[in-house]
Amino acid sequence: MRIEPHSPVPIFQQIADGVRSAVAAGVYRPGEMIPSVRQLALNLVVNPNTVQRAYEQLEREGLIISRKGTGMVVAPDSKLAARNGVEQSLRQAMTQSIAQARAAGLPRAIIDRAYRDAWQQSPEA
């Protein structure tokens, strides 16, 4: 997981997105523990409070469960929920991108090609 410090997307949001994605991909499975607040903060070279905020959001979403003194555990049935969350934000981004492109008068051929090219550039899962 990489943090882009100059992105307009807040760092804590990037962290939450990254962990959600990892849960969706099955990197962390229900019942497993995810990195501790302090550990992940060290890895990402980020303040622990920032990681804490990301984890709080994921707990509100029901993806993880916090246990004092023990750590954070991936919630049961969280994989599907995470996948849905990722798909939802994908759809939102797609819709907005395409709407903007069409508003600017880009022809369908151009947009379709952008989509295909994006596929080829993205790393395989």
Residues in touch with a second copy (CB under 8 A): 5-6, 8-10, 13, 17, 20-22, 24-26, 47, 66-69, 82-83, 86-87, 89-91, 93-106, 110-111, 114-115, 117-119, 121-125
Cα–Cα distance, 102 to 91 (Å, whole number): 16
Q: What residues are paired with 33 via a beta bridge?
A: 73
Cα–Cα distance, 1 to 17 (Å, whole number): 10
> Which residues of this chain interact with DNA, rule CB under 7 A?
10-13, 36-39, 46-50, 52-53, 55-56, 59, 66-72
- Nearest approach in angstroms of CB 38 to a second copy is 17
Q: Is the dihedral of CA 120, 91, 21, 54 positive or negative?
A: positive
Give which of 87, 67, 89, 91 is closest to 79, Cα–Cα.
87
32 binds, among DNA, a second copy, none (CB under 5 to 8 A by kind): none
Q: What residues are paired with 71 via a beta bridge?
A: 67
111 binds, among DNA, a second copy, none (CB under 5 to 8 A by kind): a second copy
55 binds, among DNA, a second copy, none (CB under 5 to 8 A by kind): DNA
